[in-house]
Amino acid sequence: MARRTTRGIKKSYVEAPIVFDDEDEPIPVTSKDSDDEDFTAPEPAQEEEDDKDEEADMADPTSEEDEAEDDEDDGDADGKKNDASSQPKKHRNTGAGMIQSRKGFHDIPHYPLETRIVTRVYAGPLRRYARYSALRDSMYGPEYNRIKIIWDLEMRWAEFPALPPRYLPHEPQGICPSPWLAPAFERTQEQNAARWYNNYYAKSPEVQQCHLLSSHEGEHLIPQAGGDLVTFIGPWYRQGEFRFAQGQSLPITASGLPTSTSEDQDKSSTGWMLDIGSIPLAMGWVPSLVNAKQVLAIASIPFADQEPRRQEDGADKYQDPSAMAEGCVQLWEFTPKEADKTLARPSTTPARLIRTLCFSWGRPKRLQWCPVPFESVGSYGLLAILTGDGKARIIDVKKVEEGSAPVYEWVQSPVVTLGIDDDYNNKVTCLSWVNINRIALGHSDGSVTLWSIFPRKMLQRVGVHTTYVIDICSAYPSNPYLVASIPVGGCATLTDLSQPSSELTYFPVPAISFQPNMLCWNESMQGFMALYPSSTPNTTIAFLHHRFFCQARSICTGPNTITCISAGATHPFVLAGCADGSLFSCNALQKLFKQKGEPLQKIKVMEHEYRPIRRPELQGKDSSRPVRGAVRILQGFLPEPNDDPRTEKRKELDRKKKLERMKTASGKKKGRPRKNGGTVEDLDREAELDDKLASRVVTHEPLTRLTTIVWNPNMQYSCWAACAMASGIIKVMDLGVQ
């Protein structure tokens, strides 16, 4: 493996032994200093240059991949290597490092008042400049079996840089179940779930109370759009205009046109597009182990809940809590096509609404299915819903008969209601399943709780944060009790609920987060995907391994504010949605183990754009069907480099500086210089990078954004992804390639 340099000093991948200097001389511990026989003095700190590197790297999430490369280029351009002995020795800061005073062993160091000094520094065995084999061995080693697993996974999908393969698990490049679990883990969990379910209902058969509603009553409880949606879909050079009514669904081809009107030779369906007539906030696929129809649960709110309030409108009726007391969750069914040698493909049968769960607990904000299937007991599963009253409720969703009309069900009392009633105004803000009978909740006071569903009991309450918890995610199935949480203001934290008092770590950069759906677990890579924790706004997705949570690695950078993230359950491909309506996909595992000079790619799957219709123009030619807005969806984009524009900009500037130094050293002019100091190609390249950087601060129509994305967790449908747009459009796509 090639050696790398950092700031002119050669470093190898092998961790060197710690050498103590005069200032870091270990303090001897005698029996008089402490009566605790098990007390051990802390090890001395690393060299100051390493600490400086860590501080600089955490301040800039995009410089981690190229710091070593830039130092090598600088050394070659100058014609010599920097000598560490020739540099003056830097004095350490007495406040940010180890204990410096010898007056008493337990003296507390002075807190540094200088803002340039970072007091939260990671000084573990994994370095920021570690790449490929060193990174792989540190994260997944030292056991050979674990290293071999991640090595095989990387080679398995090495030829797919942007989209997952549509191959079966037994094929060399196919998707695969988690290699970190024991064989037949899913079947065992399903059997345990059925046994627990039967025991639970045997002791409390009347626990969930609900009754059916008529079609007229049920449709009235569903948020109404107030008009149709004009959509422009298809290839960019021949898009077609279609009018979507609320509840309408169309199967679409690879070109984006409906299968009934497409002029393509291959009219096979690659997905569906439907209009739910409201803003979708959360989605979830029903877990299943059989090759059956797929069911998607959607939680949505009316458009009026997020309309800007104007003073001329007078009193706002939505300030009244009773106006937002009702909510519903819709279940849509998607029929697959028969496939023997590949994964399941979408069929030309339109998607249909099969069940609507209505309640009076407020608007639904989050939902998540229990990850273990309950098919053997005649149920879709247990659905956890977070509602507007600040409580989390578990609902048992029964299966519907094949081919029956939509069922509208009013839920009076759920299986269980979870929340802290003793604290004043302490609401549940997020949720995540831990296993069959355990669920973790985040609260508005910053605490994280672990609950048992039956019997209902709060098992733990850990004060992880001091502010509102915006997102929480469990590392199910391989590490279910590892729970990552992100607060509105503070540090992203990983807590081991099996030992919460001692096993807790965090990313040492505080950040401010207001956007949910930005944290997910990737089973193949054994880590979390989240927005890069940074004190400044950024558009980069980071990977945080559960063993090195305090050190993030950049995965993908979007052109605008990231609004939602989803990672596959049986593959390492990540989807990122942006506020400008764009959806990107990339191979996160390939990005993590990137080698120097290796070109990586990401692809823009689609781009959504919404335009509202002014009130005088609401009525169209047909007065009975008004229009609420127009939508354009573009697709067919070419792959692009998976790099950050800031990094590309810096590389371009460094390249120009290197050429100028070479010209100065040789004393030769290789061409007549231009007034602006660059060639036409250089100017075009700089203009392109400037446009990419400027796109991050461009604001868009609020209903243009993507609200949530979710990969299908079921094995045969793991290439299916559902993308929700704030305009009310839901697009289910088969993203598998061959």
517-528 residue pLDDT tens:
999 999 999 999
Region 112-128: mean pLDDT is 67
pLDDT confidence bin for 45, thresholds 50/70/90: very low
- Of 186-195, 263-272, 669-678, 699-708, which range is least confident? 669-678
User: Read out DSSP for 146-213?
Assistant: HHHHHHHHHHHTTT-SSS-B---TTSTTS----TTS-TTHHHHHHHHHHHHHHHHHHH-TTSSEEEEE
Region 701-722: mean pLDDT is 96
Q: What residues contact residue 221 under an 8 Å CB cut-off, 6+ apart?
A: 213, 326, 328, 356, 358, 408
Q: Is the pLDDT confidence value at 61 over 80?
A: no
- Give the pLDDT confidence score for residue 390 in this predicted structure: 95
pLDDT confidence bin for 74, thresholds 50/70/90: very low
- Of 443-457, 524-538, 673-687, which range is least confident? 673-687
Specify the long-range contacts of residues 543-547, CB closer than 8 Å, at least 24 apart: 543/588, 543/592, 544/484, 544/492, 544/494, 544/507, 545/139, 546/475, 546/479, 546/482, 546/494, 547/139
Which tens digit of pLDDT belongs to each residue from 563-622?
A: 999 999 999 999 999 999 999 999 999 999 988 778 899 999 999 999 998 655 555 555
Tracing tokens 């129509």 back to the chain, one arrives at 701
pLDDT confidence bin for 196, thresholds 50/70/90: very high
Q: Is the pLDDT confidence value at 156 over 60?
A: yes
CB 416 within 8 A of CB 395: no
Amino acid at 499: Q
- Of 146-155, 203-212, 260-269, 409-418, which range is least confident? 260-269
The residue ranking higher by pLDDT, 193 or 125, is: 193
User: Which tokens sit at 316?
Assistant: 């706002």
- Give the pLDDT confidence score for residue 267 in this predicted structure: 77
Stated pTM of the model = 0.81
Tracing tokens 């480099």 back to the chain, one arrives at 641
- Give the pLDDT confidence score for residue 314 in this predicted structure: 53
Which tens digit of pLDDT belongs to each residue from 244-265?
A: 999 999 999 998 999 888 676 6
pLDDT confidence bin for 481, thresholds 50/70/90: very high
Region 530-553: mean pLDDT is 89
Distance CA 632, CA 236 (A): 10
Stated as kind and residue range, the H or E segment containing 249 is strand 249-252
Q: Is the pLDDT confidence value at 407 over 80?
A: yes
Stated as kind and residue range, the H or E segment containing 684 is helix 680-694
User: From the CB of residue 331, how many other CB atoms can be counted at a distance below 10 Å?
Assistant: 20
- Give the pLDDT confidence score for residue 733 in this predicted structure: 96
- Give the pLDDT confidence score for residue 341 in this predicted structure: 79
The closest alpha carbon to 332, from 306, 353, 350, 346, belongs to: 353
In degrees, rounded to 5, the angle at the alpha carbon of residue 647 between the alpha carbons of residues 644 and 651 is: 140
Distance CA 506, CA 495 (A): 9
- Give the pLDDT confidence score for residue 687 in this predicted structure: 67
Using a 10 angstrom Cβ sphere, with 0-12 exposed, 13-18 middle and 19 or more buried, the burial of residue 327 is buried
CB 428 within 8 A of CB 442: yes
pLDDT confidence bin for 34, thresholds 50/70/90: very low
| Cα-only R_g, the chain | 28
pLDDT confidence bin for 504, thresholds 50/70/90: confident
- Give the pLDDT confidence score for residue 202 in this predicted structure: 74
Cis preceding linkage at 645, omega within 30: no
CB 713 within 8 A of CB 569: yes
Which tens digit of pLDDT belongs to each residue from 157-192?
A: 999 999 999 999 999 999 999 999 998 899 999 999
In degrees, rounded to 5, the angle at the alpha carbon of residue 24 between the alpha carbons of residues 18 and 30 is: 100
- Give the pLDDT confidence score for residue 401 in this predicted structure: 86
Helix (H) and strand (E) counts in the chain: 9, 41
Q: Is the pLDDT confidence value at 38 over 70?
A: no
Q: What residues contact residue 667 under an 8 Å CB cut-off, 6+ apart?
A: none
Distance CA 115, CA 353 (A): 57
User: From the CB of residue 684, how many other CB atoms can be counted at a distance below 10 Å?
Assistant: 11
pLDDT confidence bin for 131, thresholds 50/70/90: confident
- The fraction of the chain above a pLDDT of 90, given in percent, is 55
- Give the pLDDT confidence score for residue 594 in this predicted structure: 87
Using DSSP, state whether 319 is helix, strand or coil.
helix
Instruction: For the chain, give the mean pLDDT.
Output: 81
Q: Is the pLDDT confidence value at 642 over 80?
A: yes
The residue ranking higher by pLDDT, 227 or 333, is: 333
85-94, 105-114, 447-456, 534-543: which is most confident: 447-456
Using DSSP, state whether 242 is helix, strand or coil.
strand
- Give the pLDDT confidence score for residue 619 in this predicted structure: 53
In a 13 Å sphere around the CA of 42, the CA atoms on its Cβ side amount to 11
CB 138 within 8 A of CB 548: yes
Region 676-681: mean pLDDT is 54
Distance CA 240, CA 259 (A): 12
User: From the CB of residue 414, how many other CB atoms can be counted at a distance below 10 Å?
Assistant: 25
Q: Is the pLDDT confidence value at 197 over 70?
A: yes
Q: Is the pLDDT confidence value at 285 over 60?
A: yes
User: What is the edge-to-edge ordering of all strands in the sheet holding 364-369?
Assistant: 364-369, 379-387, 392-398, 416-418
CB 628 within 8 A of CB 225: yes
User: Which tokens sit at 490?
Assistant: 């503070």
Q: Is the pLDDT confidence value at 100 over 50?
A: no
Distance CA 597, CA 7 (A): 20
